[in-house]
């Protein structure tokens, strides 16, 4: 038994995270409300992008964003069970933690990104605030996940031809009046590239990220990647849950986005050559081009990259720049993905603030040395 009790909640230091206090008055979209917001391991925290500077391809676990509807449950791997059942399978099966560890394992480098990532720019760039946690661009991380393909888990139960939706349910506390956090996946996606992960960046999954096991659904909105997995129901009809009707309605694949590995309002030296770094990603395929503007979008320059880019993860890039006049500047980066979509300057309004894919205006100050 390699498992432990999921008892440790990770610290969220201010150098690595921006916390989003759950607001008791906000609607229950991504981020709120929760009167339990003061409980240990509750609430939401996004990664500060400057904390990715100098890091490798993956987001270190200590700075990977955290998004809970309630709070981190303490689960014991020794008694934990994953149940697979429903009309869409031939037989009900149960897996313990050790059963999963004994099954054929796969490693997957993939991003998890909240559908509400970038929500605050609806207010700051487009003048109309969307309700919910006011995420900047830090509600994304890329980790090396290891676990068992969901297709293998489902095969043990014998998937019927009639199967339509696969509903994954978490073991965390019920969210308000909506019950346990759960979300249907179409069976084709469930059988395609989804992982039942028990490891993150080479360690057992930490409690905040779903110990003992979670789904990792590449390219899709974070809500699909159910943490603290306890139950998978395979259904023969389309399923409606609060998490595809009241919340996260109509979101599946994530759009294309870009971020600089730089603090907001960063100070840079006048006249000093600078290598600016960032990353771009899309749930619809690889990034094929990244352009950067230093003059408010009048002119654009191609960023360089080494082509290290996995489907379902991100492309790191860099660009040289010599700031030639002091004062406030705006940096902009825009990416194009393999589906041919380039980040627009304005995102169409979304009432829940999902899918903000417009070019983000990143303010910096050029100062004399």
Please, which residue, 95 or 248, has the CB nearer to Mo ion?
248
Selected range binding ligand MTE among 62-70, 231-239, 286-294, 317-325, rule: CB under 6 A = 62-70
* Integer CA distances (angstroms), 49 to 52, 107, 183, 191, 311, in order: 6, 25, 29, 33, 21
137 is a site residue for Mo ion (CB under 5 A): no
Footprint of ligand MTE on 257-276 (CB under 6 A): none
User: Which residue has the closest beta carbon to Mo ion?
Assistant: 114
How far apart are CB 240 and ligand MTE at their closest, in Å? Answer: 18
Please, which residue, 147 or 222, has the CB nearer to Mo ion?
222
226 is a site residue for Mo ion (CB under 5 A): no
Q: Please tell me the distance from the alpha carbon of residue 137 to that of residue 131, in angstroms, as a whole number.
A: 16
Kindly tell me the burial class for residue 251, based on how many C-beta atoms sit within 10 Å of its own C-beta (0-12, 13-18, 19 or more).
buried
Please, which residue, 140 or 331, has the CB nearer to ligand MTE?
140
Sole residue written with tokens 């139960």: 157
**What's the distance, CA 18 to chain centroid?**
15
* Integer CA distances (angstroms), 40 to 74, 230, 279, in order: 11, 22, 32
63 is a site residue for ligand MTE (CB under 6 A): no
Sole residue written with tokens 């498992």: 3
222 is a site residue for Mo ion (CB under 5 A): yes
Q: Which CB contacts under 8 angstroms, 24+ apart, belong to 120-126? A: 121/347, 121/356, 121/358, 121/360, 122/347, 122/349, 122/350, 122/353, 122/356, 125/346, 125/358, 125/360, 125/361, 126/346, 126/347, 126/349, 126/358
CB 268 within 8 A of CB 367: yes
Report the chain's C-alpha Rg in angstroms: 21
- 112's contact among ligand MTE, Mo ion, none, with CB below 5 to 8 A by partner kind, is ligand MTE
CB 112 within 8 A of CB 145: no
* Integer CA distances (angstroms), 307 to 53, 142, 177, 218, 280, in order: 18, 16, 46, 19, 12
Please, which residue, 3 or 43, has the CB nearer to ligand MTE?
43
| 227 closest CA partner among 33, 38, 41 | 41
Sole residue written with tokens 């993860």: 313
148 is a site residue for ligand MTE (CB under 6 A): no
Footprint of Mo ion on 30-89 (CB under 5 A): 30, 67
How far apart are CB 117 and Mo ion at their closest, in Å? Answer: 8
How far apart are CB 167 and ligand MTE at their closest, in Å? Answer: 12
228 is a site residue for ligand MTE (CB under 6 A): yes
Question: Per-residue string for binding with Mo ion, 246-285, x by CB under 5 A?
Answer: ----------------------------------------
How far apart are CB 167 and Mo ion at their closest, in Å? Answer: 17
Please, which residue, 218 or 222, has the CB nearer to ligand MTE?
222
- 181's contact among Mo ion, ligand MTE, none, with CB below 5 to 8 A by partner kind, is ligand MTE
- 32's contact among Mo ion, ligand MTE, none, with CB below 5 to 8 A by partner kind, is none
223 is a site residue for ligand MTE (CB under 6 A): yes
Binding site for ligand MTE (CB under 6 A): 30, 64-69, 112, 114, 170, 172, 181, 209, 222-223, 225-228
């Amino acid at each position: 038994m390699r498992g432990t009790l999921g008892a440790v909640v990770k610290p969220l230091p201010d150098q690595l995270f921006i916390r989003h206090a759950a607001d008791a008055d906000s609607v229950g979209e991504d981020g709120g409300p929760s009167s339990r917001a003061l409980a240990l391991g509750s609430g939401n925290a996004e990664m500060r992008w400057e904390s990715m500077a100098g890091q490798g391809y993956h987001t270190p676990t200590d700075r990977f964003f955290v998004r809970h509807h309630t709070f981190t449950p303490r689960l014991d791997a020794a008694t934990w069970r994953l149940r697979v059942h429903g009309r869409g399978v031939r037989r009900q099966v149960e897996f313990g933690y050790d059963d999963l560890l004994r099954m054929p394992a796969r490693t997957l480098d993939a991003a998890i990104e909240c559908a509400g990532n970038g929500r605050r720019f609806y207010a700051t760039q487009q003048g109309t605030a969307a309700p919910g946690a006011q995420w900047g661009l830090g509600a994304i991380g890329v980790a090396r996940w290891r676990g068992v393909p969901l297709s293998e888990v489902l095969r043990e139960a014998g998937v019927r031809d009639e199967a339509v939706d696969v509903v994954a349910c978490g073991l965390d506390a019920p969210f308000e009046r909506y019950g346990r956090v759960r979300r249907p996946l179409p069976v084709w996606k469930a059988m395609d590239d989804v992982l039942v992960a028990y490891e993150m960046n080479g360690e057992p999954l930490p409690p905040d990220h779903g110990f003992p096991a979670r789904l990792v659904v590449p390219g899709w909105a974070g809500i699909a990647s159910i943490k603290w997995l306890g139950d998978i129901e395979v259904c023969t009809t389309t399923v409606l849950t609060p998490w595809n009707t009241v919340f996260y309605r109509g979101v599946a694949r994530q759009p294309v986005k870009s971020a600089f590995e730089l603090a907001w309002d960063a100070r840079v030296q006048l006249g000093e050559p600078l290598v600016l770094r960032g990353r771009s990603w899309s749930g619809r395929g690889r990034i094929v081009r990244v352009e950067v503007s230093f003059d408010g979008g009048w002119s654009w320059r191609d960023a360089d990259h080494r082509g290290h880019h996995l489907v379902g993860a991100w492309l790191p890039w860099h660009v040289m720049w010599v700031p030639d006049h002091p004062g406030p500047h705006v940096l902009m980066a825009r990416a194009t993905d393999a589906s041919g979509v380039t980040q627009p300057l304005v995102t169409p309004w979304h009432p829940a603030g999902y899918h903000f894919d417009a070019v983000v205006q990143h303010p910096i100050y050029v100062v004399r040395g």
